[in-house]
């Protein structure tokens, strides 16, 4: 009993230590520009997720997205054609829904599913992109757009050309999973772990 107790305590400490040193970097699909046209890229932010010390977010993992200027919440009906357009530099978080982003000059496309993996960067301004991009909303979508002041782009590293792939996002899956040895008593009503979205 004593041994079991100290063993599980050691395990929890180890897990906390591993967690503290191995939080992933945030990768995000970017509708950006290259060679005078809109392109899709997968970007990585310069700092990894960190454990929050802010009251109210209960030790959640956070990624700082920078100072933003204006925030707009939009509800878009299902099967809406957003049309060909340009984007002033902004973060767009798809809260719910399903959107399909296509380009006039390339066969690349991005599917953005609202929720935990629903963050997108858009910044193909008309002075940097001839053709812009198109967005089609398959499902009713709620988006939260956060404009960057002075048209700034976030510091980033290009992980790959094209939208982020599953392997670029899968590190998010572990965030929000409860960090404990015996979690059975913490299972939610559907028997799964609480699917609490990380606040942004
Ligand atoms: C946050 O983590 C600290 C240190 O592990 C712990 O003492 C505290 O109870 C945690 N807070 C919540 C709300 O889980
Ligand atoms: C924010 O909104 C104000 C008022 O509409 C506008 O003047 C300003 O240019 C906007 N800033 C950005 C970065 O979009
Ligand atoms: C971001 O990409 C890196 C590899 O470039 C990967 O190790 C990491 O887990 C990814 N982050 C997320 C949140 O999936």
The 10 Å Cβ neighbour count of residue 102 is 16
Report the pLDDT averaged over residues 94-102. Answer: 98
Terminal CA-CA length for the chain: 42
Tell me: the pLDDT tens digits for 1-10? Answer: 566 666 666 6
- Contact, 147 vs 153, CB < 8 A? no
- Region of poorest pLDDT, from 30-39, 79-88, 117-126, 180-189: 180-189
Number of helices (H), then strands (E), in the chain: 2, 13
User: Which tokens go with 192?
Assistant: 């799964």
- The pLDDT mean for the chain works out to 86
Give the Cα separation of 135 and 124 in Å (integer). Answer: 13
- Contact, 42 vs 164, CB < 8 A? yes
CATH architecture of 2-184: Sandwich (2.60)
Q: 163 or 2, which is more confident?
A: 163
Burial of 36 (0-12, 13-18, 19+ CB in 10 A): exposed
From the CA of 158, the nearest ligand is 3
Instruction: Map residue 161 onto helix, strand or coil.
Output: strand
Residue in 86, 147, 148, 151 to alter for ligand 2 test, most ligand atoms within 8 A of Cβ? 147
Query: Which element (helix H / strand E) includes 14?
Result: helix 2-21
Could you tell me the distance, in angstroms and rounded to a whole number, from the CA of residue 178 to the centre of ligand 1? 12
Q: Is the CB of 23 under 6 A from ligand 3?
A: no
Report the pLDDT averaged over residues 55-59. Answer: 88
Q: Is the CB of 164 under 6 A from ligand 3?
A: no
Cα radius of gyration rounded to whole Å, the chain: 19
Could you tell me the distance, in angstroms and rounded to a whole number, from the CA of residue 90 to the centre of ligand 2? 12
């Amino acid at each position: 009993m004593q041994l079991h107790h100290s063993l599980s305590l050691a395990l929890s400490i180890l897990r906390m230590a591993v967690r503290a040193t191995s939080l992933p970097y945030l990768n995000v699909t970017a509708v950006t520009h290259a060679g005078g046209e809109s392109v899709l890229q997968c970007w990585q932010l310069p700092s990894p997720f960190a454990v929050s010390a802010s009251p109210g977010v209960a030790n959640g993992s956070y990624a700082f997205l920078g100072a933003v200027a204006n925030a707009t919440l939009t509800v878009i009906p299902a099967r809406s054609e957003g049309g060909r357009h340009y984007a002033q530099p902004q973060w767009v978080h798809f809260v719910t829904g399903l959107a399909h982003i296509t380009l006039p000059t390339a066969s690349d496309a991005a599917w953005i599913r609202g929720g935990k993996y629903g963050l997108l960067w858009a910044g193909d301004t008309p002075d940097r992109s001839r053709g812009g991009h198109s967005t089609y909303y398959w499902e009713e979508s709620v988006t939260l757009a956060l404009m960057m002041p002075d048209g700034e782009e976030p510091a980033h590293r290009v992980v790959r050309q094209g939208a982020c792939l599953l392997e670029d996002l899968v590190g998010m899956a572990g965030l929000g999973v409860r960090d404990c040895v015996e979690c059975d008593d913490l299972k939610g009503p559907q028997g799964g772990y609480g699917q609490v979205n990380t606040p942004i």
